[in-house]
Amino acid sequence: MMMRFTQSMKVKAQKEKVGCVLTLLIMIVFCVIVLLFPVCGSVSLAGWVQSPGHPQGYDPHSSLTWKKCAPTGHKITLTLIHLDLEESFECEDDALKLFADEVLLFTLCGRKSMKELQASVNPFLHSSSGGCLSVSFLADYSNTERHTGFRGFYTIQDVNECMDPENECTQLCNNYIGGYRCFCRPGYILDSDKHTCQVSCSEDRTGSREGVLMSPEWPGPYPENSVCSYILAVEEGLQFELTFMGVFDVEKKENGECIDSLTIKTLSGAVETFCERDVPSSVVTGSQRVEIIFRTDHKGANRGFSLYYETREMKCTGPVTPKSSLDPQHPEYSIGSEVIVKCDKGHVLKSKESAEVEYKATCQKNGQWSPVIPCEPVDCGIPDLPELTELSDKDPPTTYLNQISLKCANEYYQLDKNDNFTCNAEGNWESESGQKLTDDLPKCEPVCGINTEASFSGRVFGGKPASIKQIPWQLFHRRLPRGGASLISDYWVVTAAHVVDGHENMTMNWLGGTVNGQDTDPVTIETEKIIIHPKYNRVGLTNKQTNYDHDIALIKMSKRVSLGPNIRPVCLPKETDEPVKDGTVSGFGMFKKETVSRRLLYGHVQIYPLDKCDSVGLSATDNMICAGGDEVDSCQGDSGGPLFSPFLGYGSPDKPYRLTGIVSWGPSGCGNKSYKGYYTKVQNYLDWIKQTMEKN
């Protein structure tokens, strides 16, 4: 028992000795810190933080909240030397929480030796510069055994900013308590950003007529972060010429972009920048004042430049203004020289209201011409275009050599000719063939002979009803005289003369865009002028009954017909002598004995030679077409309506429907196999139609 007691006493004495030594070391560190650091107001530079009741032990429900912040340029460090808390799962009973700059670093419980704390916890217990450390300790209601708690020692220390690679001092750094400062090697000055060192290399050589300029430390490598500005200036009437000498070596990227640069600026604002290894050619500045700027970045080992500058008499060079020439023409001109400035073709003087193209200019002492009147391109302007015609591009450029093209305003029209027009030197729009736009203006003409629906069978007398859009050129007059007509443009209609004979001085309303003869809302087209063919044998003007020769009339409408899918013109025949082909006839006439159709009917007919048709006592002429089919015929009420080819349903944009005949006359008894109908042969009247439309 005595030996055991003695051994126990020895162990206890050794522990107390170790504790005293550790406490002594900490106190020595504390004393050193206090001696080395100035007193910063009320901020304590070192001290202890520990759990309540330490080292005897903490009571249930004990708690502690502690926070300490470092001044600017300092950081606070905490060293835990003791930890003895109740052990629990995820420290849910008793816990010590450690924070740095409001971020949780550790949640601790249980026991850890000083060695364990030094290895895994203490290296991380420090704040950022000017930051804070905080501690939160909380015990629950009871412990199965007594625990001594925790104890730590904190210190506030200066931060050595010079060790931070991001402090951005380009040369030298001096750390002091609470901060740092950058400074430069001899020959450099600190920039206004207090971090960058620059060479003091700018010079003002005003009044110097010749001399040498070199990059700093020439012929050795030039220093980094340089911005050198050299000013050369002399009296008016002189200019500087710069000649590079020896090596020219200014850093450049592989893609050609300058890293470092030598820039020459003149009084006129002209700028030239040089880099790489090729020696630049001599520079005649044309200026009495020149600024040469040399810039370098933060690294590199290039040698820089050396140049010789001298003055020479000021000269003027051409051109005086772009898009002009000089008379006389010389490489350069002495002060006082006069020249005639003439604008290039297609250009005029900007300040002149008239189309003047030349003026006189004199070379001044500053190397500039006076006066300077710019030459600007001739502007042809936006042309005046007829109705329905517009430019292909909105707001196109309209000056010399620019081009425009035209188009029609909607799909139901097309240009009668396509061409590009170029703005010429005289200010006129000119076609590729050399015609002025005003003399050869393309016109928008209706697209003819196209429909949007088709069928392949039917007849008029007893015929098949047409659907809307199938025969969009068909017009109808439903009051007496009842008859049909064909739209051939957006203003003109063709019909049989006998339909309108005696009604020339009356206003007639024609219906279009409908297949229903009793439609209450059709397109109504009002006549302005009715023109009957002059050779038509008009009933009532002679004692003879008409033989229907020249049975054709033109009607001009009072306003432009609004074209669309339901109403659009048919094409006229080609100006050829080719035989008339079989086709389709349409109308609102009788479709069975003494019955007038309420619907637009159509049917296909065959063309026969005149000598194969019975004219029933009337004389047929070469101005007529004989056509018919098996119980297919035009009849009363169809007069004036169209006979067109190809057959309905076989037309296309490449093969449009053409008006080959106009329903004219025939024997009584429609659909009789023994008789055929007669139609005015439109092909024979193309010239009359064209001339009449042009005159009216």
Q: How far apart are CA 358 and CA 337, in angstroms?
A: 17
Q: At 322, phi and psi to the nearest 5? A: -60, 155
637 marked among binding-site residues: no
Q: How far apart are CA 250 and CA 296, in angstroms?
A: 9
Burial label for 671, CB within 10 Å (0-12, 13-18, 19+), is buried
Q: Do 571 and 487 form a contact (C-beta atoms < 8 A)?
A: no
Residue 498 appears among annotated catalytic residues: yes
What secondary structure does DSSP assign to 214-271, as a single string? E-TTTTSPPPSS-EEEEEEE--TTEEEEEEE-S--BB-B-TTS-BSSEEEEEETT--E
DSSP 358: E
Q: What angle do CA 458, 460, 462 make, to 5 degrees?
A: 85
Helix (H, G, I), strand (E, B) or coil at 451: coil
Q: Do 679 and 662 form a contact (C-beta atoms < 8 A)?
A: yes
Task: Tally the C-alpha atoms within 13 A of residue 187's C-alpha that lie toward its C-beta.
Answer: 7
158 marked among binding-site residues: yes
Residue 551 appears among annotated catalytic residues: yes
Residue 469: alpha-carbon gap to chain centroid: 41
175 marked among binding-site residues: yes
In one letter, which amino acid is 353?
Answer: E
What secondary structure does DSSP assign to 21-40, as a single string? HHHHHHHHHHHHHHHHSPPB
142 marked among binding-site residues: yes
Question: From the candidates 127, 134, 586, 639, which is the catalytic residue?
Answer: 639
Q: Please choose, from the candidates 329, 326, 328, 337, the residue with its C-alpha nearest in 3D space to the C-alpha of residue 367.
A: 337
204 marked among binding-site residues: no
578 marked among binding-site residues: no
Q: Please choose, from the candidates 417, 488, 481, the residue with its C-alpha nearest in 3D space to the C-alpha of residue 449.
A: 488
623 marked among binding-site residues: no
161 marked among binding-site residues: yes
159 marked among binding-site residues: yes
Q: How far apart are CA 426 and CA 423, in angstroms?
A: 8
Q: How far apart are CA 586 and CA 463, in angstroms?
A: 9
566 marked among binding-site residues: no
179 marked among binding-site residues: yes
In one letter, which amino acid is 164?
Answer: D
Helix (H, G, I), strand (E, B) or coil at 310: strand
Question: From the candidates 498, 533, 550, 604, which is the catalytic residue?
Answer: 498
297 marked among binding-site residues: yes
- Kind of pairing, strands 227-233 and 203-206? parallel
Bridge partners (DSSP) of residue 310 are: 210, 241
86 marked among binding-site residues: yes
Residue 334 appears among annotated catalytic residues: no
Binding site feature residues: 86, 94, 140, 142, 158-159, 161, 175-176, 179, 251, 260, 297
State the catalytic residues: 498, 551, 639
Binding site feature residues for Ca(2+): 86, 94, 140, 142, 158-159, 161, 175-176, 179, 251, 260, 297
